[in-house]
Chains A and B, each alone.
Chain A
Amino acid sequence: AQRVTQPEKLLSVFKGAPVELKCNYSYSGSPELFWYVQYSRQRLQLLLRHISRESIKGFTADLNKGETSFHLKKPFAQEEDSAMYYCALFGNEKLTFGTGTRLTIIP
């Protein structure tokens, strides 16, 4: 069975401060990890995928197979980063989401 754990339901960070949203996973094969984001009144959308190793909106995430983690980071938070963030694992032909972290940026 595959599982994704996001330990923080809520996270508040001051504008300009660093952000780290934690994600750990459990999967027996080679995982594909993603971060999805849902801004207020918008649809769920892909933010990052581990395969592309890109930076989107200043966010990066590195897959650490030893620690089975895929934490999302941004060095300087902006107010527009306030949203619901889901870590997700694609395996066994299914996308499994973590419980999500609601990030609030304090002006």
Chain B
Amino acid sequence: DTEVTQTPKHLVMGMTNKKSLKCEQHMGHRAMYWYKQKAKKPPELMFVYSYEKLSINESVPSRFSPECPNSSLLNLHLHALQPEDSALYLCASSRNRDRGNGEQFFGPGTRLTVL
């Protein structure tokens, strides 16, 4: 399996809801990433996990809570989001931490709408 999968494809939630985004890869990659992409903008890095440990948090608000239960799975827990958080959320993975992490494999994304 050479793809990164993301579920759900679309998610609509209210500002008081709690939901989770899921990302999975079976390529043996040991780095995984969450990006946020607004319409007509490039992806912006949110979090980096390396060997299942959080290594980078790009000053993301605490209403976004990442989790990496194992080397194949990455979750993004959402709580009390704001309408401006509506965006495409992309997951990516890469082989290792040092050389080769610029080559990232992206999932199709979850289109999130916050009402």
Residues of A whose CB lies within 8 Å of any CB of B are: 32, 34, 43-46, 49, 86, 88-90, 93-100
Contact = CB atoms under 8 A, between A and B. Distances in A.
Given A89-B102, A100-B42, 5 more contacts: A43-B109, A44-B43, A93-B101, A95-B33, A95-B45
Interface string B21-51: 0000000000001000000011111001000
Contact of A88 (B33, B97, B102, B105): B102
Q: Is the interface of A mostly helix, strand, loop or mixed?
A: strand
Interface of B: 33, 41-45, 48, 55-56, 58, 90, 97, 101-109
B42 A99 contact: yes
Given A94-B56, A99-B42, A46 B101 contact: no
Contact of B107 (A43, A90, A95, A99): A43
In the complex, which of the residues B56, B102, B109 has the most CB atoms of chain A within 10 Å of its own CB atom? B102
A93 B43 contact: no
B3 to A, nearest CB: 9
